Structure 1
Amino acid sequence: MFNLELPPFNAETWAILGTLLLLEGLLSADNALVLAVMVRHLKGDLARKALAYGIGGAVVLRILGVLLASYVLEYWWLRAFGAAYLAYLAISHFAKRGHSEDEAAASARGRGFWATVVLLNLTDLAFSVDSILAGVALIPRDMPREQGLTIVVIGGVMGLILMRVAATLFLKLLNRYPALDNVAYALVGWIAVKLGVETLEAAHEIYPWVPTFHMPQPLFWTVMVGIAVIGTYLATRKPAMSEPAAERRAEAIVGEMDATVSDAADGRIDGR
């Protein structure tokens, strides 16, 4: 079920990996930012302990998501669910009136320690599903499943690495240009359209009465590039804060996470 095979590293494969790198970076940074906000109402060691559980949950759920991606690649009805979920994700993002930080703080405020931990891991689950389904949707339908799964695994590994290695960079970008979040979710929305079209094609092969369409790969990638270029231009016209302020805020969040992981590793977070 989980056999892997290296895909041909042609222009399309590199384009997929580049898109995953961008999406994983922005979504992982958004995840880190939301986790940090959600524990603010807890005091002292409780906040750090809850954050440790949240970081651990993000890693475990990302690994499970990569393993489950094999089933999504194999069964068309799971791809249909994935397309619907990604579409819902993009639409709900743009329909929201408040910022995700404000919503995260409001949802966690007043909750006890274990209730916060549960909410943190539900948030991790949502971000893991987002990124894994986006990876699955980018795989061409005619690519062998083993090669497609390999790309999804590479994307999942990049997400885990970016949660720490490039977290400061992407958090800095999101702090300085919050509208970059919109670019990421606009890309997710277009990816949902692609996955939906391919799902209809797969369903049509089994049930001929299902209407079917075809999206040429050049069209898909042209729109992807257009969203990325135009969206980034619009998002970076008016910075929300200065570069030094954005960097200080990003470093503070990453520093807190590093301290939490270190304390969890040597037992100090539990008071020992």
Structure 2
Amino acid sequence: MMSGILDNFSKFFDLHVLIATLSNPSNWMIILSLIILEGLLSSDNALVLAIMVKHLPKNQQRKALTYGIWGAYIFRFIAIGIGTYLMKIWWVKLIAAGYLIYMVWDYFRGTNKEDDDVNVAIKKGFWATVASVELMDISFSIDSVAAAFGVSSQVWVLFLGAVFGILAMRGVAKIFVTLIEKIPELETASYILIAIIGIKMLLGLINIEISNVIFFLILIAVFGVTIFIHKTKKNSSEHEYE
């Protein structure tokens, strides 16, 4: 087991693996899918983290968030290296698929503990706040990493998706938040995709594989239908007020 995990980590430092990953167009489709999922699932997370460091002096706020980003990258590096090996074990894959389906059920049930998490971090000192930001980043990462494992098993695909996804979350969080505010159905669509990923993992247990191209087309179709539903609802509501 340990040799398998170490072999996975060695792929992070293998230039040939990286080149092979980047030269495959279907991998870029999956990386883009992971970035979109990360951005939508974590759209409000960057704002939550901003609230957590708000009590610090301005020069310390950026520093605390930067430490948080590096913590998130290190966690992803470790989780992907270990997780891509463990996901080859059928019962681990079954647990991961069950967790994704639970996430979807929890979302539609309406559970939300973010406010409690933010309140815990308020009025702490710098390093205590950094620790809270690190823990929050890790908790945010668990859902995204679990979903990512259902999409690909290639370490560089997962890590590049995570790197760009985290940058998207921090850099354009307000854009994603605004997008979800304008089209609130997108949040639901992202959880529908998570359910599809969970089903994809379960199908993999009985040797039914969904290709990267088909998954990417499903992603486009889900968001396309979501935007169509939003416009239809918007038009019908406008007609009611006329």
TM-score by length of 1: 0.63
**Is 1:105 equivalent to 2:115 in the alignment?**
yes
TM superposition shift of 1:48: 8.9
Residue correspondence of structure 1 range 65-80 to structure 2 within 5 A: 65-75=76-86, 76=89, 77-80=91-94
Q: Contact between 1:38 and 1:105, CA under 8 Å: does it hold in 2?
A: no
Tell me: CA distance 1:65–1:79, structure 2 relative to 1, closer, same or farther (3 Å).
farther
Question: % of aligned pairs identical?
Answer: 24
TM superposition shift of 1:177: 2.9
Following the alignment from structure 1 to structure 2, what is the Cα–Cα distance between the partners of residues 110 and 127? 16
Structure in which a larger fraction of residues adopt helix? 2
The farther-off stretch of 220-229 and 183-192 is: 220-229
Q: Contact between 1:108 and 1:119, CA under 8 Å: does it hold in 2?
A: no
Match of 1:133 among 146, 150, 157: 146
Following the alignment from structure 1 to structure 2, what is the Cα–Cα distance between the partners of residues 61 and 214? 33
TM superposition shift of 1:151: 0.5
Residue 175 of structure 1 corresponds to 181
Deviations 1:171-219 (A, max 9, x none): 3213333332212221122112112322x2xxxxxxxxxxx25144376
Q: Contact between 1:83 and 1:196, CA under 8 Å: does it hold in 2?
A: yes
TM-score by length of 2: 0.70
Tell me: CA distance 1:8–1:132, structure 2 relative to 1, closer, same or farther (3 Å).
same
Tell me: CA distance 1:111–1:150, structure 2 relative to 1, closer, same or farther (3 Å).
closer
Could you say what the CA RMSD is over the residues aligned between the two structures, in angstroms? 3.4
**Is 1:214 equivalent to 2:208 in the alignment?**
yes
Residue correspondence of structure 1 range 101-250 to structure 2 within 5 A: 103-109=113-119, 113-114=123-124, 117=129, 120-139=133-152, 148-198=154-204, 200=205, 212=206, 214-217=208-211, 220-235=215-230
Unmatched runs of 5 consecutive residues or more in structure 2: 1-6, 235-242
Which letter maps to 2:144? Answer: S
Tell me: CA distance 1:233–1:30, structure 2 relative to 1, closer, same or farther (3 Å).
farther
Tell me: CA distance 1:126–1:111, structure 2 relative to 1, closer, same or farther (3 Å).
closer
Following the alignment from structure 2 to structure 1, what is the Cα–Cα distance between the partners of residues 66 and 77? 17
Which letter maps to 1:57? Answer: G
Tell me: CA distance 1:222–1:29, structure 2 relative to 1, closer, same or farther (3 Å).
closer
Q: Contact between 2:203 and 2:209, CA under 8 Å: does it hold in 1?
A: yes
TM superposition shift of 1:131: 1.9
Residue 26 of structure 2 corresponds to 12
Tell me: CA distance 1:106–1:238, structure 2 relative to 1, closer, same or farther (3 Å).
farther
Following the alignment from structure 2 to structure 1, what is the Cα–Cα distance between the partners of residues 185 and 52? 21
Which letter maps to 2:227? Answer: T
Residue 56 of structure 1 corresponds to 67
Which letter maps to 1:156? Answer: A
Following the alignment from structure 2 to structure 1, what is the Cα–Cα distance between the partners of residues 177 and 223? 18
Report the number of matched residues: 213
Following the alignment from structure 1 to structure 2, what is the Cα–Cα distance between the partners of residues 194 and 166? 29
Following the alignment from structure 2 to structure 1, what is the Cα–Cα distance between the partners of residues 116 and 132? 12
Which letter maps to 2:45? Answer: N
Tell me: CA distance 1:196–1:70, structure 2 relative to 1, closer, same or farther (3 Å).
farther
